[in-house]
Amino acid sequence: MSREQQAVARARKAFDTGRSKSLEYRVRQLKNLQRLFTEKQKVISDAIKKDLNKSEVGTQLYETLGLEGEISLAIKKLKEWAAPRPVGKNLMTISDSVYIKPEPLGVVLIIGAWNYPWAVTIQPLIGAIAAGNAAVVKPSEVCVHTAKVMEDLLPLYIDKELYPVVTGGVPETQELLRQRFDHIFYTGNSTVGKLIMEAAAKNLTPVTLELGGKSPCYIDKACDIAIACRRVAWGKYTNCGQTCIAPDYVLCEPSIQDRVIEEVKKSIKEFYTDNPKNCPDYGRIINQRHFKRIMNMLEDSTVAAGGDNDESDCYIAPTVLRDVKPEAKVMQEEIFGPLLPIMPVNGLDEAIKFINKGEKPLALYVFSSDDKVINRMTDETSSGGLLANDCLVHFSVNSLPFGGVATPSPSVVACRKQWYGLLPRQVQLRPAEPPARLPHQAAENGGREQHAL
Ligand code: NAD
């Protein structure tokens, strides 16, 4: 038996004992996971620093705080989630009790990506534990140090039979995919997503695919361009552009392009100083393969800001590209790096038309002080999420669903991401100048308020 087969067999055996069905047991596991984040914060952030040059604060803000919130929510809501839900009756069943009783699926496979390695791997695990499943956890091999820390730490805190960690790359993941699971939760790119779906189909295993793609951003001329650009710069360059919902490109009218460039440049300087390479808050590209992939995209575009790079350090400066054409390399696939192409369009109609020609985006951003513009973008496009007048923050709102339009099925694995996977879209309309919540917004507000993530 291979290592992967053994892990799955052990998880199945542990699930069959029925211990994960007890609500008390699930809560204990969740509390242990919470303890891991409290006790090992430094180990976690040191590893991510080595993988992506993320700062300790960045790791807390974008990885562990959200997970701790997710754990608290699951603990608080578990009884309610697990309780049978009475449903409507008909004449034939009028005197019966008719209800839906949630039950665990069985053994779940969780395949994580590297860009927010704890968030994307452990969030589905929290859901799986809460729902009473066993789960085999496969962290991304691309974030070498974090995968090792996960492999070392998880078994010290949670039931290592029910929730084994299997490390490794493509061959190991493929070996896992040859096993039978009751659900597969994959986060990563769409090409591999198709392979996952194919492998799952052999056993009719339901899947949740958390994929990426190009998330457009329309900046209307009727808006506070300085604030819009500040927020776009934050959304784009956080984690060096390696965020699934980062604004991929900007559409705006030619008349405001220069202003947009100037304002984005100002924000880059403010966030990361004149020399981002030496700024502790600016990340690195995960590895040289991705460095080369991103640099290739620059070939046929005009650099308006940034462009400096250092392969040996996987460094690419925050970069802005101007007058980008739809056929440019950078517009053909998800960038997943710190390049911000600006593609001029003649107004909202053309922007909507362009967006609708592509795949349905994971996130869509619109900046405008005109409600009509926001409403038209909302009504005439389709995307997993739409956010007006800010970037990324919809991810942090627990009461909103998250995922793309094509998420194939809601599932019994108790994770909000999946439960709401089928809802067509989330719309969070924000006023043009909301009260400060995140670091980039706090400074807009004179730094008076702290972030609330
Ligand atoms: P990656 O290279 O780490 O791959 C993801 C996982 O797939 C890894 O665990 C890896 O071992 C496995 N894998 C890779 N090739 C495989 C193969 N041939 N067969 C079987 N398994 C294989 O991560 P990535 O794909 O570079 O991740 C970045 C992508 O993920 C981007 O497109 C990003 O937008 C997307 N993403 C989406 C979300 C979301 O919530 N929607 C979150 C983060 C990242």
Check whether 450 has a pLDDT greater than 70.
no
Check whether 415 has a pLDDT greater than 70.
no
136 vs 451, residue with greater confidence: 136
> What is the overall mean pLDDT for the chain?
89
Check whether 50 has a pLDDT greater than 50.
yes
Q: Which residues pair with 86 in a beta bridge?
A: 99
Q: Is 115 near ligand 1, meaning CB less than 6 Å away?
A: yes
Check whether 187 has a pLDDT greater than 90.
yes
Mean per-residue pLDDT, 192-203:
96
Mean per-residue pLDDT, 345-373:
96
Check whether 393 has a pLDDT greater than 80.
yes
pLDDT level of residue 424 (50, 70, 90 thresholds): very low
- Per-residue model confidence (pLDDT) at position 279: 95
Tens-place pLDDT, residues 2-14: 999 999 999 999 9
Question: ipTM more than 0.90?
Answer: yes
Ligand 1 centroid–CA 122 distance in Å is 15
pLDDT level of residue 121 (50, 70, 90 thresholds): very high
Phi/psi zone of residue 392: left (φ > 0), alpha (ψ -120 to 50 degrees), beta? Answer: left
Nearest atom of ligand 1 to the alpha carbon of 177 = 20
CA 115 to chain centre: 9
C-alpha to C-alpha distances, 438 to 55, 135, 219, 441, 442, nearest whole angstrom: 16, 33, 20, 5, 6
Check whether 63 has a pLDDT greater than 60.
yes
Q: Is 197 near ligand 1, meaning CB less than 6 Å away?
A: no
Q: Is 333 near ligand 1, meaning CB less than 6 Å away?
A: no
Check whether 430 has a pLDDT greater than 70.
no
Please indicate whether residue 210 is annotated as part of the active site. Answer: yes
- Per-residue model confidence (pLDDT) at position 401: 81
Check whether 134 has a pLDDT greater than 60.
yes
Q: Is 114 near ligand 1, meaning CB less than 6 Å away?
A: yes
Nearest atom of ligand 1 to the alpha carbon of 116 = 43
360 vs 411, residue with greater confidence: 360
Check whether 99 has a pLDDT greater than 60.
yes
43 vs 452, residue with greater confidence: 43
The Cα 224–Cα 415 span in angstroms is 37
Tens-place pLDDT, residues 316-328: 999 999 999 999 9
Ligand 1 centroid–CA 211 distance in Å is 8
**Model's pTM, two decimal places?**
0.89
Check whether 429 has a pLDDT greater than 70.
no
Mean per-residue pLDDT, 249-263:
98
Mean per-residue pLDDT, 54-70:
92
Q: Of 190-204, 330-344, 409-423, 437-451, which gets the smallest average pLDDT? A: 409-423
Nearest atom of ligand 1 to the alpha carbon of 114 = 3
Mutational pocket test of ligand 1: of 67, 120, 137, 140, the residue with most ligand atoms within 8 Å of the beta carbon: 140
Mean per-residue pLDDT, 137-156:
98
Is residue 226 classed exposed, middle or buried when 0-12, 13-18 and 19+ CB atoms within 10 A define those classes?
middle
- Per-residue model confidence (pLDDT) at position 413: 28
pLDDT cut 70: percent of the chain above it? 89
438 vs 105, residue with greater confidence: 105
- Per-residue model confidence (pLDDT) at position 406: 64
